[in-house]
Amino acid sequence: MLQNFLNYLNQNVTPGQAGAYIWVVIYILIIFAAVSVAVIAMNWLERKILAHMQVRLGPMRVGPHGLLQPFADALKLLLKEDIIPTGADKLVFWMAPVVVVLTAFTTYIVIPFGPTHAVTDMNIGILFMLGVASLGTLGIIMAGWASNSHYPLLGSLRSSAQMVSYEVAMGMAVVSAVLMTSLTGLGVYGIGGTGDTLGTLSMIEIVRAQMNQHVWFAFKFFPLGLLAFGIFAIAMVAETNRAPFDLPEAESELTAGFHTEYSGFRWSLFFLAEYAAMIAVSSIAVTLWLGGWLRPFPHWLGGDTWDTAFSFFPALTFFVLAGLTLRTTMRMPKHPYFKIQKTGLGVFGLLLGAIGLVLLAPPVRDRIQDIYWFTIKVAGFMYMYIWYRGTFPRYRFDQLMKLGWKFMIPAGIGVLIATALAGVL
Amino acid sequence: MNPVATPYFFYGLAAVAVLSAIAVIMRRNPVHSAIALIFTLLSLAGLYLMLYAPFVAGVQIILYVGGIVVLFLFVIMLINIDSMQREYQFNKQWLVALLAAAGLGVLFVAVYVKGQAIFPQHAIRFVEEKNTQQVGKMLYVDYLLPFEIASLLLLVAIVGAVVMAKKRI
């Protein structure tokens, strides 16, 4: 048993491909837990960052700097009365949040956190992700219809119209990235290394193609890769119903949109699914255009010395976080009222430092690197999501449709054709 | 990696497909029918996977479940369900329906009886890893002209739908 475990560590394929069922289950559990923790962290960060953007303090009362606020919220949601409206279609009302959460988490099966750190690698990876992500719409439609109320129905109608129109632009951008896996572009652009002549849809192979061609696809065929990436980055905000495209839950017009009638635990499932879907589409963008698990400049700054230097980054990040936490602890008021908070924050800071120390150990360092770079790129996208919300006013629905159909889709098709031309010329 | 417990997966998926297909025609509420249709289409996608055609399975999920059923639900939500449920749900066409169903049944039985002679016992297995590439090669190299004709036909259908739906273009 133990030997099996140790043997697995030396393999360089994903557990799904190796057929190691125990590891598949372990990976799924780890991903589920990690995503849930990330959602909790996002909940806190979003409030704090938005507050600071608007020159407010944000949550400050529950725990030091409001760190325990998400847990208090979770507790509140669990204890809240679970209401099903009288006229609601009970079965569909019950199914809707389950469908939304299931689809949001199913996409994580193929996300490559590293060359071996994915549940499995499918040869239709990206297609699978887009397909399952589009199923989330069904859950939203079901929720809106089953509530038997006007606001949710309007919200879900908007959601489905929005998703159907932006999915096309998204698909075009994705296809142009997939096209790049087979086109080395040595003709006109004259950059890059060797690559397969056969394209691929597998998430891991797409990242491998970027490694072999010595370029992230966002910078390939400049500016075509960047344009496709931009189209995807806009479409993905619309797909996840986030500001400035959050019309399905526009509170000024529709109360809370499709989840108006939901409360308590069911509502928190929608919340969980929304953030899980945000992380999932961000990881598509990272995999397709930003080199997935690759560290910055793996070839330009290649060699063992640079490899070692870059492998200290995960530990360094945790040390910086620990340092910031301890500095905040020092600066807390010297009143006895703050004593418990101060101890708690201090212990939290020391914990972060301890994690940093563990990450310094060479075997851990080597294994954690790719996950770190992937996570840090996805975290950048999550910050962008919050930034958009703090910056852009909400679109009107006709503006949204105009942007989708009259700008994004033609631009997507144009980029696709131009990419194909740039590849064969 | 070798497949495991294939017959059980097949029977499970087939049972879900058949049961939900029955639910599609048995439910009075069109939204319930559409949701049952989702389950049918998803289990069909699973069956395609079992036939070593992952690309077809993925396209099935994206196009049928993610696209077409979403449009179905979109349309259903725009019509008035309450008044529709009160209307009489059956046409008096049972004779035609019976003949059609009997014909289809005979066809199924014929295929089941004679099928072994027509189809080889073990169909040629395509390499699963290169399924997408093989489909692409078939469509764009071997059968380019028929494929383009089919896409032209679809374009004509789209233009026709727009012309019929819009009074003033």
Inter-chain residue contact B67 with A164, CB threshold 8 Å: yes
Note whether A56 and A49 are within 8 A (CB): no
A55 assigned to some structural domain: no
Domain count, chain A: 1
Is the pLDDT score of A198 beyond 90?
no
Inter-chain residue contact A157 with B62, CB threshold 8 Å: no
A326 assigned to some structural domain: no
From chain B, pick out residues whose CB is under 8 angstroms from the CB of A128: 58, 61
Q: Which of B29, B57, B69 sits opposite A138 (nearest CB)?
A: B69
Interface test with A, best of B20, B28, B60, B61 (most A CBs within 10 A): B61
Banded pLDDT at A189 (limits 50, 70, 90): low
Measured between alpha carbons, how far is B32 from B23 in angstroms, rounded to an integer? 8
Q: Which of A135, A163, A200 sits opposite B65 (nearest CB)?
A: A135
When pLDDT is averaged across residues B130-146 and rounded to a whole number, the result is 83
Measured between alpha carbons, how far is A340 from A326 in angstroms, rounded to an integer? 15
Nearest CA in chain A to B62: A131
From chain A, pick out residues whose CB is under 8 angstroms from the CB of B57: 124
Q: Which of residues 20-59 of B touch A (CB under 8 A)?
A: 29, 31-32, 35, 38, 54-55, 57-59
CA atoms lying within 13 Å on the CB side of residue B127:
4
List pLDDT tens digits, range B94-126: 889 899 999 999 998 988 887 777 666 555 555
From chain B, pick out residues whose CB is under 8 angstroms from the CB of A156: 77
Banded pLDDT at A2 (limits 50, 70, 90): low
A365 Cβ contact partners less than 8 Å away, ≥ 6 residues apart: A311, A312, A314, A315, A359
Is the pLDDT score of A14 beyond 80?
no
When pLDDT is averaged across residues A389-401 and rounded to a whole number, the result is 86
When pLDDT is averaged across residues A340-346 and rounded to a whole number, the result is 85
> Per CB distance under 8 Å, which residues of A are interface residues toward B?
16-19, 89, 92, 95, 122-124, 127-128, 130-132, 134-135, 137-138, 141-142, 144-145, 153, 156-157, 160-161, 163-164, 167, 198-201
When pLDDT is averaged across residues B143-147 and rounded to a whole number, the result is 90
A378 assigned to some structural domain: yes
Among the ranges given (A193-197, A275-279, A316-320, A413-417), the one the predictor scored with the smallest mean pLDDT = A193-197
Interface test with A, best of B73, B80, B162 (most A CBs within 10 A): B73
- A355 is written with which tokens? 């994690």
Domain with A138, as residue range(s), is: 84-294+361-424
Is the pLDDT score of A292 beyond 70?
yes
- On the question of a cis peptide bond just before residue A97, with omega within 30 degrees of 0, the verdict is no
Q: What is the mean pLDDT of chain A?
A: 83
Banded pLDDT at A330 (limits 50, 70, 90): confident
Nearest CA in chain B to A15: B1
Per cent of chain B over pLDDT 70 is 82
Is the pLDDT score of A187 beyond 80?
no
When pLDDT is averaged across residues A353-371 and rounded to a whole number, the result is 85
Nearest CA in chain A to B128: A123
Q: Which of residues 60-89 of B touch A (CB under 8 A)?
A: 61-62, 65-67, 69-71, 73-74, 77-78
From chain A, pick out residues whose CB is under 8 angstroms from the CB of B61: 128, 131-132, 134-135
When pLDDT is averaged across residues A352-376 and rounded to a whole number, the result is 86
List pLDDT tens digits, range A139-183: 888 888 888 888 888 888 888 888 888 888 888 999 888 888 877
Measured between alpha carbons, how far is A130 from B62 in angstroms, rounded to an integer? 7
A318 assigned to some structural domain: no
Is the pLDDT score of B147 beyond 70?
yes
What pLDDT sits at residue B145? 92
Q: Which of A131, A163, A199 sits opposite B58 (nearest CB)?
A: A131
A354 assigned to some structural domain: no
A324 assigned to some structural domain: no
Per cent of chain A over pLDDT 70 is 94
From chain A, pick out residues whose CB is under 8 angstroms from the CB of B51: none
Measured between alpha carbons, how far is A240 from A133 in angstroms, rounded to an integer? 9
A·B CB contacts under 8 A: 88
Task: Identify which has the larger pLDDT, B77 or B47.
Answer: B47
Is the pLDDT score of A211 beyond 70?
yes
Is the pLDDT score of A190 beyond 60?
no
Q: How far is A349 from chain B (nearest CA, A)?
A: 45
From chain B, pick out residues whose CB is under 8 angstroms from the CB of A124: 54-55, 57-58, 131-132
Is the pLDDT score of B134 beyond 60?
yes
Among the ranges given (A20-34, B8-22, B95-109), the one the predictor scored with the smallest mean pLDDT = A20-34
From chain A, pick out residues whose CB is under 8 angstroms from the CB of B66: 130-131, 134-135, 137-138, 167
A3 assigned to some structural domain: no
Long-range CB contacts (< 8 A, 24+ apart) of B13-16? B13/B43, B13/B46, B13/B47, B13/B50, B14/B43, B14/B47, B16/B40, B16/B43
What pLDDT sits at residue A359? 85
When pLDDT is averaged across residues A394-402 and rounded to a whole number, the result is 86
pTM: 0.85
What pLDDT sits at residue A291? 83
Among the ranges given (A96-100, A321-325, B135-139), the one the predictor scored with the smallest mean pLDDT = B135-139
Inter-chain residue contact B74 with A122, CB threshold 8 Å: no
**Domains in chain B, please, with CATH?**
6-92 (1.20.120.1200)
What pLDDT sits at residue A225? 85
What pLDDT sits at residue A1? 60
